[in-house]
């Protein structure tokens, strides 16, 4: 999607480093971290939010991606957050899963 910042990141437009990636998703550091480690798991397909995702298998694989990215980052204890909709604090309307660990401020 043209005006989506996360689609641009996935496309490599900003040279963002991916700490983990697979066929389904890329994982990169949040630009405004709310914990010592704050990663975002972002599906490669543009889906606005959890409300628009109908693919159960993809959702399962995204959660496995959370686990693998956390393992790769050396995290054994972490919080996952999905903000769905403006009133819940969603700011970027491309589905993403936050991974937070250490001194969590969210």
Provide the annotated active-site residues.
96
Smallest gap from Cβ 67 to ligand AMP, in A, equals: 19
Contact 7, 95 (CB under 8 A): no
**Residue 77 φ/ψ, nearest 5 degrees:** -130, 125
Among 5, 50, 75, 104, binds ligand AMP (CB under 6 A): 5
Smallest gap from Cβ 83 to ligand AMP, in A, equals: 4
> Within 10 Å of residue 27's Cβ, how many Cβ atoms?
23
Residues that bind Zn ion (CB under 5 A): 1, 4, 6-7, 46, 94
């Amino acid at each position: 999607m043209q005006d989506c910042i996360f689609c641009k990141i996935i496309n490599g437009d900003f040279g963002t480093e991916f700490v983990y990636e697979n066929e389904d998703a890329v994982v990169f550091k949040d630009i405004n971290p709310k914990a010592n480690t704050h990663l975002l798991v972002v599906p490669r397909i543009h889906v606005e939010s959890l409300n628009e995702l109908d693919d159960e298998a993809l959702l399962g694989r995204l959660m496995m991606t959370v686990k693998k990215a956390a393992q790769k980052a050396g995290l054994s204890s972490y919080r996952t957050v999905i903000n769905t909709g403006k009133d819940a604090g969603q700011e970027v309307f491309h589905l993403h899963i936050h991974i937070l660990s250490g001194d969590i401020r969210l």
